[in-house]
Structure 1
Amino acid sequence: MSTAVIGLGLIGGSLLRALAAAGHDVVGYDADPETREAARAAGFRVAGTVPDAIRGAELTALAVPLTVLPDVIAEMAGHDGLVTDVTSVKGPVRDLMKGFRFVGGHPMAGKETSGFAASDPGLFEGCTWALCLEPHGTDLADWLLLAGLFTSIGARVVPVTAAEHDTAVAQISHVPHLFAAVLATQLLANPLAGTLAAGSFRDATRVAATRPELTAAMCGGNWSAVHRELSRVIGDLQQLEEDLLLSDPVSGLSTYLALGSRVRRAWPPPPGATVTVAADVQALLALGRAGGWVTSVNGTELLGMRPETDLYLS
């Protein structure tokens, strides 16, 4: 499949490498001249402009920050090929891409390093790739095409609507980034705490070291879901605060802490048996809502897996 990858940072560069390694005809583009030269030096075909990159492409993958997308989209006027993206927020991108053949995506892959130099063709092996399937807005044939492409480079494709995706990532990524930042700033007023900090502090604050402009763009772009989920977390913390003031705070805290302990020890849930999935929007969304994913696509024949999430309740 002829593909253009716009944006050659960690994710875009890795996608360029993975598709080329799989034998696809792929061309890249990045706004940064040094990144373009680095990609050329690595042996990849690199265009000098967005229009040059996407001309004749069957698929265009947008791997640029949300804040840059409007400018890139303006350079794609009249493009009739299939378009996907890798942005961590899906609702706003879906709205920006009206008028295009578009299927939103978000590979849950990454590492602490960034840029083309950090890109890796094996980055998507075993990674979860959320692929948006809107009941009244996504062409199923386009979705199946991309699901087949991404599973072929090792990803586990999760069918999900944009709204469901944005709520889930607010819960497991965006709010935790904010919480980690709050925890990290406690060291400012107490150098002793920094000396005593060990594993629990390190693990709970790891993502606070993310470039702040990326976290701000991520959370700001998903502000509605982040606000809703942040309010819920604050409510839970306020309940724990009240439990601390009980005559028996140990008993008061234990119920909630036991629930969190049980859920965390059961995560990640073990995969269940392989299942055959119908090439049907509702069947695919049901798989995603159950925590499942598509493992392979052969035309309209799909294999998937549903994890044993009932373990959370045991």
Structure 2
Amino acid sequence: MSKLVAKLRPLRTKIDRLDREILKLISERADVVAQVGTVKRRLGLPIRIASRERKILRTLTDLNTGPLPSSSIAAIFHSLIEECRRFEASSCEIRDNSHFAQSQNQVKTVAVIGIGLMGGSLARALCKYAPEYRVIGFDPKLSRRATTEFKLTNTIQEALQADVVALAMPVSAILAFLRKEGAHLRPGTIVFDLGSTKKLIAETAKRTLPRGVCFVGGHPVAGKAVGGFANSEADLFQGRPFVLSVGSSPPERRAAREIERLILRIGGRPHRMNAADHDRMLALTSHLPQLLATALAATASRTLGRRLPIHGSAFFEMTRVAESDFVVWKDILETNKLYIANILVSYQNILQSFINYGDGRATQALFDEGCRFRKKLRLKKESSC
């Protein structure tokens, strides 16, 4: 027995030495993770990127040669990644709170006007991820008992006294608010909107807002096919682009930086873009897909009547946004009709070439072109993860 004990002692000493080495490597990993968190914040990336975590686990299990089974290796590193992610989030939280505490121009109160899908999600995201802000909401259609997460006021005057006023309404309602209430905003207020078109809103804000009130045009490229406060969620903006159209004056640029910090706090990825460029781009990447989904669903309805089609995933996915509410899209179509019309003509020309199908070479060229573009789009998305 004494010989066995004597044999056990050096083995335990070796395990202790290995544990210390592992601890040192874990600490080094945590230091690098904190640096990654800083870079992610600057890029507007979320703390957790699931595809990256899956890739790490897949690589490590592929490299595993035993004696532990790959399932054990995956469990160990999954736990390590999870703890490092918590550390990354907490270290970013400490730096962010320190920055906000030191900022002389700290924004303390955000009034969200319009508590539907987007406004409700913004208010909930601020409550969850940026508790340093005081959030109030205003929406005449919503009962003050609708939520306990943030204060709902029944008076527009209280909302107008906020440091930041976020307009989360359909475009026509945003324009009406700027014309009716804009003059009542106090100097120093930052106004930003979440409208889906930017050029007309920016022009109206420039004409109607009083001196000393800064406007930042905003558009979160996020959402759902169904709207309303009941469908809002705090994580709606996580990892999503948030376009900002910014004026050229120093106060407007300072206001934009405040809004960028707010967006980063709720997990969004701020991206500056000229208002006209935004409307032109979104006509292609958002407004055209909506119209195509609606047209495809309506075509199926007219062709099949009450019968439901036999379909694969492509048909179901392509018609997903056909459930969108026309109340929202009515304003988008009216305020961006020029750019939408231009892109529809381009799309119509390609459809016409399918109708005029000849020997197939022109159609194959379109298939090849579309395939190349889609691959580039997919690779860009994968590389960003």
Q: TM-score with structure 1 length normalisation?
A: 0.78
Q: Is the Cα contact below 8 Å between 2:112 and 2:166 reproduced in 1?
A: yes
Q: 1:138 to 1:186 in 2, by over 3 A?
A: farther
CA distance in 2, matches of 1:206, 1:89: 22
CA distance in 1, matches of 2:217, 2:362: 44
Alignment match, 1:161: 274
Instruction: Give the SS at the match of 2:234.
Output: coil
CA distance in 1, matches of 2:240, 2:298: 31
Structure 1 residues 130-172: Cα deviation after superposition (integer angstroms, max 9, x where no partner): 0113446982111111112111221111110101110111001
Alignment match, 1:239: 353
2:167 aligned partner, one-letter code: L
Is the helix fraction higher in 1 or 2? Answer: 2
Q: Is the Cα contact below 8 Å between 1:129 and 1:158 reproduced in 2?
A: yes
2:156 aligned partner, one-letter code: V
Q: Choose which of 356, 359, 364 in structure 2 pairs with 1:254.
A: 364
Alignment match, 1:112: 225
Structure 1 residues 90-113: Cα deviation after superposition (integer angstroms, max 9, x where no partner): 011112212341000001111233
Equivalence map 1:208-219=2 (5 Å): 208-219=322-333
Q: Is the Cα contact below 8 Å between 2:112 and 2:167 reproduced in 1?
A: yes
Structure 1 residues 245-280: Cα deviation after superposition (integer angstroms, max 9, x where no partner): x2x22x22111111111211232443799xxxxxxx
2:140 aligned partner, one-letter code: A
1:14 aligned partner, one-letter code: S
Equivalence map 1:66-215=2 (5 Å): 66-73=171-178, 74-79=180-185, 80=187, 81-98=189-206, 99=209, 100-135=213-248, 139-191=252-304, 194-215=308-329
CA distance in 2, matches of 1:43, 1:213: 27
Alignment match, 1:304: none
1:16 aligned partner, one-letter code: A
Q: 1:269 to 1:164 in 2, by over 3 A?
A: farther
Instruction: Give the SS at the match of 1:84.
Output: strand
Q: Choose which of 119, 135, 139 in structure 2 pairs with 1:26.
A: 135
Which one has a bigger Cα radius of gyration?
Answer: 2
Q: Choose which of 146, 164, 169 in structure 2 pairs with 1:38.
A: 146
Q: 1:144 to 1:69 in 2, by over 3 A?
A: same
Structure 1: 5+ residue stretches without partners: 274-306, 309-314
Q: TM-score with structure 2 length normalisation?
A: 0.64
Is the strand fraction higher in 1 or 2? Answer: 1
Q: Is the Cα contact below 8 Å between 2:117 and 2:229 reproduced in 1?
A: yes
CA distance in 1, matches of 2:294, 2:285: 15
Structure 1 residues 218-267: Cα deviation after superposition (integer angstroms, max 9, x where no partner): 2222111111111111122223333x0x2x22x22111111111211232
Pairwise CA RMSD? 2.3
- Percent identity among equivalent residues? 30
Highest RCO, 1 vs 2 (Cα 8 Å, sep ≥ 6): 1
Q: Is the Cα contact below 8 Å between 2:243 and 2:273 reproduced in 1?
A: yes
Q: Is the Cα contact below 8 Å between 1:6 and 1:29 reproduced in 2?
A: yes
CA distance in 2, matches of 1:16, 1:27: 8
Q: Is the Cα contact below 8 Å between 1:134 and 1:161 reproduced in 2?
A: no
Q: Is the Cα contact below 8 Å between 1:51 and 1:76 reproduced in 2?
A: no
CA distance in 2, matches of 1:145, 1:169: 24
Equivalence map 1:39-54=2 (5 Å): 39=147, 42-54=148-160
Instruction: Give the SS at the match of 2:183.
Output: coil
Q: Is the Cα contact below 8 Å between 1:51 and 1:75 reproduced in 2?
A: no
1:5 equivalent in alignment to 2:112: yes
CA distance in 1, matches of 2:135, 2:290: 34
CA distance in 1, matches of 2:218, 2:369: 32
Q: Is the Cα contact below 8 Å between 2:174 and 2:195 reproduced in 1?
A: no
